[in-house]
Structure 1
């Protein structure tokens, strides 16, 4: 319980620093989030290596996206893509394909890409499309898990919030500046990762 409280305190402080544009302080708080969840996962006796690898690459993505250049954006995108791949591998152990559960994710992603496509530069269109495909698979694999309802709901909600967070980043970067973008992106992202870890511990 102590680590959970610390995580949400750090998340709240990070959001405050982000929304008030105190970028030097963000460089101290943001990189703390995933290590806290890694320690929490150890505390919850989670054994699956894929979860820890996903959190590690999420940490790399957090660090890269703190810098504003296109190179660091690509490195961040690549890091989070790898994180999503390892979440897919994690969820795969309990996965049972359902077309009914898969279609909403596929339709939402396809529609969203069409919505923001005009703002994506040609050099980023393929990487962003590949990333969207992978996060869609992550959502599908979360939705297709066969486990107890408590674990299922927590992980599924976390996965959906992760997709929402990524979608908000894309909206803000490629379509139109989003008011209070740091608040919405980081709150959905932080809660998403927390719910995935907590939900997996209850499988």
Structure 2
């Protein structure tokens, strides 16, 4: 069955089926990792037939990519709402927290989902989320900072790349709280420097983002 001929989950029942498949996949990843994950196991855990599963997805790679995309979109929406609710943002911590909680579960599960997101869409994934994010906050968040495509590229890829690296190196036993602080410092320092450069002022003070 081709991808075009698969059903799009438009009705509540279809959406519930997709959610059951996602939940089952997550549970199996947490229990046994990617190596033991099969579509038969997913269907059994989700309580659907293997035929039903293949009506929505072409295999486990598609399931993982769709799960990752769904979670990335949710994080993007949360960040956009944060900026809209508090346009004069005094800290990027809520943004960092939204990014860090995009993919829940063990480090191994987070790595699988991050890999699925990038493997499916390649470099276009970040470009897509850039445009969707800017569209979501367009005209509603007064950031007072005109981010060029290059600055936005550096900012988002730095954080996304570091999150992916942290998930790929669980043996480092990095503290989530300490890592959050470091991400905040990284983003605030970079944004502060951009503001200073725009104003033609002196050196930026790290640790405080004041648009």
> TM-score with structure 1 length normalisation?
0.30
Larger Rg: 2
TM-score, length-scaled by structure 2: 0.29
Point out the structure with the larger helix share.
1
